[in-house]
Chains A and B, each alone.
Chain A
């Protein structure tokens, strides 16, 4: 979605110009956080007392990692909002597909055979 729907014809908007991107330092910091989050994930996985809440923990942690990569490494944070506008809804639909398939097929097939 273009964010400049009313750009007056006389002065076309240039978005080709350099957008300020993250610095090397920011990239390194993000890498650090990503590492820490991954370690947390694996740690949570091995702690028996966390088993009951492991799924939400994993969802939150991987969501955070996902967001970090998308925002910083893929520059969505710095770039034109239009790119987020394209990617966001498609990603939402992707989530919808996963959940819909899980629910519909689980209901259709009944509960899985317990091992």
Chain B
């Protein structure tokens, strides 16, 4: 009754790995290739972070050890954390697995924006290299991956190390946001026909929620970093008490990012486990709907729990209690997940692969980490444990024994699909057992050390504190684990050189990626599959529906023809744009003029991407078959971007409001702001929005000339607004309110200045469109391009509406 699945090796005529030369990887926009590049880069950085960790473990093996200097140790622990989080686990989870598996699982030919995908990768790579290049200029960053202010102020950390850290993170943040935006749009809009949200593979659910979290979590971090960079370069005092501010602001902004980040790291792992366990238990996932709901709920709650990182800062009992409750609440959906995995195992028919072993180890280790997490939700317990090795043990169980183990499970699981080669199970076993034993040897005793009072981030400790035994034990464990990871490399190389060729469906899988050859052809699916249920491929194979064909492999095999599918053309602009961005960073720490060159490159590359295809409206999306999707991906992307930008401005406005009226010296807002002038510019900006819709209407009805003129008029009003702002800033400046003068000065200039910057970008955008329309590059069917410019412009307008009332009108109220 079941359809025979071709178990023999079926090869695509041209798979994504072999097509084109090595140089073609530089301009590739293929999600699978980008995934592979993410994976390789992350593994390289994992080696680096592992090296740092081993060095630290040697240093801590004995009391009063002198293997590393204090300075080097601090650099190493800072970069170990930064690297593992930003350069290993996050890019592995989203960049690598998200790219390799997600589009295949939803039955798409690529992600929504292939070139943006390449851009994310290149920005990630250059950002990472940029950050590590500080090694050549006076050492690695050394203020911790959390970079608590005011230690990061230039006064306490002179030199350029922290500059590299802050600017590097800003660059990496751009990469993360772009990548997440891409995935979000892809999942929302590009699922195969019939694949409703409730039929998506659960891994895709997790990537979806993780992407949303990136979009909402990175804006506060970006704002925090912007303040930090301003403090370090421009002499403001957002985090120092000099002008009446508080370093706690950094902690709020950072953990507002930092806690969702934990789930950004963990959710892809949950997703992988939820695929691996059912596959090797030969059972469907238990409680699919509950799993999906728990995923969404975890994402949602994780945005309101950041304060549990700050119980020791004295937020006051009310805030402590609120954060304690919300943090404890997150244990419930997490518990649902763990129990559902166990229930999936119940009466399963197991296939004991290495991947499955990793998944089982994940469940146990993650549960341990989660349970200690409940303790940290309780302030009285947390006050004893935070900042100690107990915390180190906790988050290594969550992120190492959790996320990383899941990623290893996923690596073994998707390796045949990705490379077309099977992995050696024997090497896999050695790898698993060494890693697993080593991991637990290293990190379990850290619970004891923490309870024994050993603080984190210390490069040395005295003798006689009773910590010696376990520290030595941990160090030995670290080396066992490192050996285990070495076997992973051996297994990978062995597979690539001598591994047997993989069939399309080596695990008898449940999801769509197993329905196409391994490695997949460039276009993924010869024919976009139609989905009728969860576990779509399993249904096709065994779903009691003999008439239903198992599409891809069979078709390919029988006919041997490659269908004519246009795949997105390679593009050189992503790598160019990323290089421009990296130049901006280099310029900031070295010579400011380089930044200008970088900005110019960025601008040209954006224009290049925007006008790369002469008939934008149709190509390439139409030929990829995008017209089967319900929405326009680009518009979904635009709105998502706008939403994420709102959070950026919210963080700026929140800071402004929080610091309002705390200036140590005047003049303050109510003494200086001028309402008549600003009222006028508000009116100008509102009217520019009107002109903008008129311009769009012009383009939409094909009246290019009218549209262009309205565009010029809109940009003109924008310039008037900017002129008003320049006048205002100049006047304040001459009245003594400089950026560094007082809290009002720095928050006002930053908030209003960032808005002004957005107006400026909008003006450039609109002018670019207007000039392009001279060359007939914005025909009627491309009116969408104008609509995007318009959406951005209106967004700038609505932000101003808020700023005008909150900053200008309301500020006069207080104290009046």
Contact = CB atoms under 8 A, between A and B. Distances in A.
Interface in B755-769: none
A22 B188 CA distance: 27
Interface string B603-645: 0000000000000000000000001111110011001101110
Contact-residue size bin, chain A (C-beta under 8 Å from the other chain) = 35 or more
B682 A90 contact: no
A64 to B, nearest CB: 10
Contacts of B664: 113
A108 B650 contact: no
B223 to A, nearest CB: 10
A13 B805 contact: no
B658 interface: yes
A104 B630 contact: no
Nearest to B670: A115
Contact-residue size bin, chain B (C-beta under 8 Å from the other chain) = 35 or more
B692 interface: yes
B657 A102 contact: yes
User: Chain A CB within 10 Å — which of B307, B647, B690 has the most?
Assistant: B690
Nearest to A6: B196
Contact of B802 (A9, A66, A102, A113): A66
B216 interface: yes
A58 B805 contact: yes
B635 A101 contact: no
A115 to B, nearest CB: 6
B689 A86 contact: no
Given A45-B675, A93-B216, A7 B246 contact: no
A9 B654 CA distance: 46
Contacts of A69: 686, 689, 794, 797-798, 801
Interface string A86-115: 110111011111111110111111001111
A87 to B, nearest CB: 5
Contact of B809 (A21, A45, A75, A96): A45
Contacts of B813: 51, 54-55
B810 A58 contact: yes
Say whether chain B's binding surface is mostly helix, strand, loop, or mixed: helix
Given A5-B197, A113-B662, A91 B651 contact: no
Given A73-B794, A80-B631, A83-B639, A108 B248 contact: yes
B246 A109 contact: yes
B666 interface: yes
Contact of A24 (B194, B697, B787): B697
A34 B686 contact: yes
A15 B318 CA distance: 48
User: Chain B CB within 10 Å — which of A6, A7, A16, A31 has the most?
Assistant: A16
Interface in B655-696: 655, 657-662, 664, 666, 668, 675, 679, 682-683, 686-687, 689-690, 692-694
A21 to B, nearest CB: 8
B693 A73 contact: yes
Contacts of B675: 42, 45
12 contacts: A2-B630, A7-B630, A15-B632, A22-B693, A58-B809, A58-B810, A62-B801, A90-B646, A90-B647, A101-B249, A101-B658, A113-B662
Given A5-B198, A31-B687, A115-B815, 7 more contacts: A9-B531, A27-B690, A34-B686, A90-B647, A105-B252, A107-B315, A115-B661
Sort A-B residue pairs by CB-CB distance and give the 9 closest, nearest first.
A90-B643, A101-B654, A94-B650, A5-B196, A105-B658, A9-B530, A9-B193, A62-B805, A9-B194
